[in-house]
Amino acid sequence: MAFQLSPGVLVREQDASGVVPGVGTTTGGFVGNFQWGPARELVSISNENELVERFGKPAAATNVDFLTAASFLAYGSSLLVAREVGNSARNSCDSGTAILVRNQDEYEAASATPGTFLAKYPGTLGNSLKVAIADLGNYTSSSVASVAITAAGSSYETAPDVTFSAPTSGSTAQGTATIDGSGTVTGVTITFPGVGYTSAPTVTFSSGGGTGATATAALTTAAADFEYKSSFDFIPTTTVWATQQGISLDEIHIVVIDEDGEISGTAGTILERFAGLSKAPGARTDDGESNFYKDVLNNQSKYIFFSGHVSTQSGSIGQDWGTAVSTVLAATPKSYKILTAADTDEFSLVGGVNDNPTDGNLQSSYDFFANDEETDVSLLIAGAHSATVGDYIIDSVADVRKDCLVFISPQKDSVVNNSGDEVTDIEAELSSYTRSSYATMDSGWKYMYDRYNDVYAWVPCNADTAGCCVNTDLTADPWFSPAGVNRGAIKNAVKLAFNPKKADRDTLYSAGVNPIVQSAAQGVILFGDKTLLARSSAFNRINVRRLFIVIEKAIATAAKFQLFEFNDAFTRAQFRSLVEPFLRDVQGRRGVYDFRVVCDESNNTGQVIDANEFRADIFIKPAKSINFITLTFVATRTGISFEELGV
């Protein structure tokens, strides 16, 4: 509080309304092999349609990861997804040697990229892309295509000037004449075909010292119109911004097409269109956003990156695309080159390659989840990945963060077409995993329908086990068990590869594996709630581990507001007033049986205070889920009273 040097009233306020905040408990994380989309980059997905939009429909040969992600999303939560590809994957391009560019960051870091346009993501799906581009020169057939000399004239000392009549509306054609050694006109080269002609313009010759030369112009045919002209409602000429700068002919239209139909399902489908872009660096829209076609494609297109400016237009006057405005202003004419009939205006992309990710590739993307300050995730899904990857997620991610659970299923070979040996092989797999309370393993692979390829596929159930936790959070609280008929129903399962019987369940559950069972009455159910912790502890149950994750995460977040405050009785009382109401609320919602918060001079001694530390001890009696039910039925004689039996 500032000292007052003269009489007056100083008003100040102090905020004592802080509470322990709620924390997210349903967000999942998964790394998979997908057909399309950014690789080695986290993308938040909220439903299956969005999964298709960002990562493409699955191929029948590689649909397991897609169906795993879709299985989790069916339970109604968001999923942070990273695509991974092998090091031999390549992005399609229209020319040159294809390279691997996983995402926008790698594109911006690349020293060079091939061709004119580059598929935004690696994979063969990019080979279906085509880019078409139009400006004033190739947009419409109302331009001069050729000039025929009808009379050569005579006595020309220099090439005469060529003048075309102007169209009713549009731009006038331009050209240059050539003469031979005898002083006659031999031809006219069109330097600018003009636009807007409804009939062929007249051609006149002047100067040069000679007379008598005449010529007839011919217009382009309708077949020469820009193929995708119907997708736009105006001719690309000069943008408003360019006019204000004093330059011209900068405007272009761009279309991205699914040439082979691999993306949309119909060949020739227009995927994207960009109208009224500019060839000029620094060009702006009316809203102040960049309108330079390189920037627009890189920032807005879902399918292509800019890779290089369209090659110098043959026979066209003006400056190359991408030339600085200052250079254009210093030139004559003050314009950009336009496309002519000799120029390429359609670019088909080729060279894209798929490559399945290695364990090392997958681990690289799972590393995104390792930092709890950068990524908020609660449920990590191992999918169908190898035990090496699964253990990496446990050991290098979950055990480091200590605020999320890893969900693992057996390897496919252990349960699919392995009748009689499932339990033995699953138990053998357990030695591959760190026995942590931050991981849980189920027993199942389910048979589910892939509607994109009209086939059925075997998919691991770990995404469904995580989904049961989501369902538990939505219908109850994280500290309730996700297992059983109330909250443990597995969705979209036609059948199980392995349906463990009672003896199998006894063996698996004793080892720490949660059985998934199928019955005629209840369907497919998660029938266990153990973590992979090997020793006897309250933390060998999913509900207890998730209870402590929620409590620790929420209270730790609230505790950050005590940093850099004084360690005195006021601060300690303030901390207790934050934590105790929160824990009472958890207790009222059946999460704990009892609790105690100790934060006073008993644990904040002089030595602790002098070390600039602050300590709080929070004692919790966690609620326990029922795993075993004993029902005793006693038959008695009709004439006996229950009191005689001591009931």
Q: Specify the range with the lowest mean pLDDT, choosing from 39-48, 128-137, 341-350, 442-451.
A: 341-350
Neighbours of 621 (CB within 10 A): 12
Instruction: Identify whether 93 is part of a domain.
Output: no
The percentage of residues in the chain with a pLDDT greater than 70, rounded to a whole number, is: 96
Specify whether 591 is located in the same domain as 483: no
Rounded CA separation 379/463 (Å): 9
Residue range 463-472: average pLDDT?
Answer: 97
Instruction: Identify whether 390 is part of a domain.
Output: yes
Neighbours of 108 (CB within 10 A): 10
Specify whether 361 is located in the same domain as 344: no
Instruction: Identify whether 419 is part of a domain.
Output: yes
| Residue after which a domain boundary falls, among 224, 244, 267 | 224
| Residue after which a domain boundary falls, among 543, 576, 602 | 543
Q: What are 501's two structure tokens? A: 């019987």
For residues 212-221, one letter each, b for 16 or more C-beta atoms within 10 angstroms of the residue's C-beta and e for the rest, the string is ebebebebbe
Specify whether 381 is located in the same domain as 459: yes
Specify whether 441 is located in the same domain as 514: yes
**With 80 as the cut, is the pLDDT of residue 270 above it?**
yes
Specify whether 575 is located in the same domain as 446: no
Task: Supply the angle between the helices 64-73 and 48-55 in degrees, to the nearest 10.
Answer: 140
Specify whether 495 is located in the same domain as 360: yes
| Bond prior to 333 in cis (omega within 30° of 0) | yes
Instruction: Identify whether 94 is part of a domain.
Output: no
Specify whether 179 is located in the same domain as 310: no
Q: Specify the range with the lowest mean pLDDT, choosing from 116-125, 181-190, 304-313, 516-525.
A: 304-313
The percentage of residues in the chain with a pLDDT greater than 90, rounded to a whole number, is: 80
Specify whether 448 is located in the same domain as 405: yes
**Banded pLDDT at 145 (limits 50, 70, 90):** confident
**With 90 as the cut, is the pLDDT of residue 642 above it?**
no
Tell me which DSSP letter residue 335 carries. Answer: B
Q: Give the residue numbers spanning the domain of 191.
A: 144-224
Specify whether 377 is located in the same domain as 492: yes
Rounded CA separation 90/125 (Å): 11
pLDDT digits (tens, 9 = 90+) for 554-565: 998 888 888 999
Instruction: Identify whether 17 is part of a domain.
Output: no
Specify whether 398 is located in the same domain as 534: yes
pLDDT at 199: 86
Specify whether 337 is located in the same domain as 268: yes
Q: What are 530's two structure tokens? A: 């153990």
189 sits in which H/E element: strand 185-192
pLDDT digits (tens, 9 = 90+) for 323-368: 999 999 999 889 999 887 778 899 999 999 999 999 999 999 999 9
Q: Which residue has the higher pLDDT, 309 or 136?
A: 309
Backbone angles phi, psi at 502, to 5 degrees: -55, -45
**Average pLDDT of the chain to the nearest whole number:** 92
SS (H, E, C) 145-182: EEEEEEEEEECCCCCCEEEECCCCCCECCEEEEEECCC
Instruction: Identify whether 584 is part of a domain.
Output: yes
pLDDT at 519: 92
Q: What are 561's two structure tokens? A: 């507001």
Residue range 162-174: average pLDDT?
Answer: 82
Among 338, 171, 328, 322, CA closest to 245: 328
Specify whether 195 is located in the same domain as 260: no
- Region of residue 95 (left: phi > 0; alpha: psi -120 to 50; beta: else): beta
Domain count, the chain: 4
Instruction: Identify whether 92 is part of a domain.
Output: no
Instruction: Identify whether 284 is part of a domain.
Output: yes
Among 567, 499, 468, CA closest to 25: 468
| Residue after which a domain boundary falls, among 191, 224, 257 | 224
Give the DSSP per-residue string, 119-133.
Answer: ESS-SGGGGGEEEEE
Q: Specify the range with the lowest mean pLDDT, choosing from 371-375, 423-427, 541-545.
A: 371-375
> Taking the model in full, what pTM does it have?
0.86
**With 90 as the cut, is the pLDDT of residue 302 above it?**
yes
Residue range 444-464: average pLDDT?
Answer: 97
Rounded CA separation 411/419 (Å): 14
CATH of the domain at 66: 3.40.50.11780
pLDDT at 137: 79
